[in-house]
């Protein structure tokens, strides 16, 4: 099953609203086929695993391990549970049930009714963690939110700046950390920053230090302060702007009208409707504080560098102890998880 998880993670950032799924076929304690869900709309993991078996005559005497319950409905592809039955496999081992309403136990029921032996719950907790974005999106009906910021040793995320100052960021973390952030960008559906971050740092919010798809760019511009020459408004990448004033943009930019009563919960609802499964929030401090205050966050990744600013913009604070801690030379990374959010 851990090999299923390893395969499934290869699809991170490519499956859109679909879950990460890996499948392994075993005959006489030997792997004879394996596959994973490569991209949204493409063949599912079970299909790729079955296709990879060189001797199909072994299938009726083999076990297929699936990180997620095989689907039972016709969507972009035919049902995998029916294919497993048709190919003569007699035993199926599953980590997690699929909470998607069209599946949600129906795939396992079909296999059991067809006479197959089905074992469920194998490494269930590990499977839940791997697919935490998908499970959260289905169960809570909002994207999985990851907060990310870098802070100095004395707890600041930026210098004090004058209005209109567009000097760009002063890097607090090291080169390894910045490359890791670009990897993270490639793994999430979208990336979000606040108006002040666009004005002061003018970020492109794309994947440049890593291979992979660029996430959908999102910003909130309630008072229409975004400069017209901002990189995020270049129209070259999918971008969503939540704006108070009604403005017209060109290229791949979509505007969502956000009146004064528009709250972060409304933003999350809009992104859910647009099938945005996960959002990496990169700043600034005000936006991070909004997520922390409302509780609409699930994970926080905080870099702490060695430099000190002595004064400036205070970093957000999370009172809980970190769930994980890593070190990259002189930069420390702490990972926090929202204890109030529990997956079933």
For residue 190, pLDDT beyond 70: yes
Q: Are 134 and 189 in contact (CB under 8 A)?
A: no
Q: What is the DSSP letter of 181?
A: H
Among the ranges given (32-36, 232-236, 259-263), the one the predictor scored with the smallest mean pLDDT = 259-263
Q: What pLDDT band is residue 162 in, cutting at 50, 70 and 90?
A: low
Active-site amino acid positions: 46
Would residue 330 be called left, alpha or beta, if left means φ above 0 and alpha means ψ between -120 and 50 degrees?
A: alpha
Q: What pLDDT, on a 0 to 100 scale, did the predictor assign at position 296?
A: 97
Q: 294-328 pLDDT, tens per residue?
A: 999 999 999 999 999 999 999 999 999 999 999 98
Q: What pLDDT, on a 0 to 100 scale, did the predictor assign at position 151?
A: 95
SS3 of 190, please?
strand
| Average pLDDT of span 78-107 | 94
For residue 165, pLDDT beyond 70: no
Question: What distance lies between CA 50 and its chain's CA centroid?
Answer: 27
Output helix, strand, coil percentages for the chain, rounded to the nearest 5: 30, 25, 45
Q: 75-91 pLDDT, tens per residue?
A: 666 799 999 999 999 99
What stretches of the chain show up as alpha helix (H) in DSSP?
2-8, 45-51, 80-86, 106-113, 124-130, 132-140, 175-187, 195-201, 264-273, 285-294
Per domain, the residue ranges of the chain are: 2-130, 138-215+261-337
Q: What pLDDT band is residue 101 in, cutting at 50, 70 and 90?
A: confident
Handedness of CA 337, 142, 136, 46 (dihedral sign): negative
Q: 244-257 pLDDT, tens per residue?
A: 998 888 999 999 99
For residue 114, pLDDT beyond 60: yes
Q: What pLDDT, on a 0 to 100 scale, did the predictor assign at position 309?
A: 92
In whole angstroms, what is the distance from residue 160 CA to residue 313 CA?
6
Task: Please give the CATH number for the structural domain made up of 2-130.
Answer: 3.40.140.10
Q: What pLDDT, on a 0 to 100 scale, did the predictor assign at position 159?
A: 82
Q: What is the DSSP letter of 245?
A: S
Q: Are 304 and 151 in contact (CB under 8 A)?
A: yes
| Average pLDDT of span 25-34 | 98
Q: Are 239 and 214 in contact (CB under 8 A)?
A: no
Q: What pLDDT band is residue 163 in, cutting at 50, 70 and 90?
A: low
For residue 22, pLDDT beyond 80: yes
For the chain, give the mean pLDDT: 93
Q: 119-134 pLDDT, tens per residue?
A: 999 999 999 999 999 9
Q: What is the DSSP letter of 174?
A: -
CATH topology (fold) of 138-215+261-337: Dihydrofolate Reductase, subunit A (3.40.430)
Q: What pLDDT band is residue 99 in, cutting at 50, 70 and 90?
A: very high
Q: What pLDDT, on a 0 to 100 scale, did the predictor assign at position 168?
A: 56
Selection from 213, 189, 182 nearest residue 133 by Cα: 189
């Amino acid at each position: 099953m851990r090999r299923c998880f390893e395969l499934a993670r290869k699809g991170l950032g490519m499956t859109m609203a679909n879950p990460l799924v890996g499948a392994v076929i075993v005959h006489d304690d030997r792997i004879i086929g394996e596959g994973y869900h490569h991209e949204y709309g493409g063949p599912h993991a079970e299909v790729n695993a079955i296709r990879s078996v060189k001797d199909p005559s072994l299938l009726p005497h083999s076990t297929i391990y699936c990180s997620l319950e095989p689907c039972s409905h016709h969507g972009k592809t035919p049902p995998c549970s029916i294919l497993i039955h048709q190919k003569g496999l007699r035993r199926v081992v599953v980590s997690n049930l699929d909470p998607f309403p069209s599946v949600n136990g129906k795939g396992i029921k079909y296999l059991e009714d067809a006479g197959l032996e089905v074992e469920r719950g194998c490494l269930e907790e590990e499977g839940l963690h791997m697919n935490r974005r998908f499970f959260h999106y289905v169960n809570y009906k909002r994207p999985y939110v990851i907060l990310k910021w870098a802070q100095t040793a004395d707890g600041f995320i930026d210098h004090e700046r004058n209005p209109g100052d567009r000097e760009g960021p002063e890097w607090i973390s090291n080169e390894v950390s910045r490359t890791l952030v670009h990897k993270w960008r490639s793994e999430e559906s979208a990336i979000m920053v606040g108006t002040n971050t666009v004005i002061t740092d003018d970020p492109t919010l794309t994947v440049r230090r890593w291979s992979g798809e660029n996430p959908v760019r999102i910003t909130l511009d309630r008072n229409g302060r975004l400069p017209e020459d901002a990189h995020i408004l270049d129209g070259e990448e999918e971008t969503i702007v939540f704006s108070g004033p009604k403005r017209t943009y060109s290229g791949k930019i979509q505007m969502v009208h956000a009146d004064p009563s528009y709250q972060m919960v409304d933003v999350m609802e809009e992104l859910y409707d647009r099938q945005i499964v996960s959002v990496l929030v990169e700043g600034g401090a005000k936006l991070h504080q909004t997520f922390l205050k409302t509780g609409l966050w699930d994970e926080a990744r905080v870099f702490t560098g060695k430099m000190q600013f002595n004064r400036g913009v205070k970093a957000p604070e999370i009172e809980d102890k970190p769930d994980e801690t890593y070190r990259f030379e002189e930069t420390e990374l702490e990972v926090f998880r929202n204890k109030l959010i529990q997956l079933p």
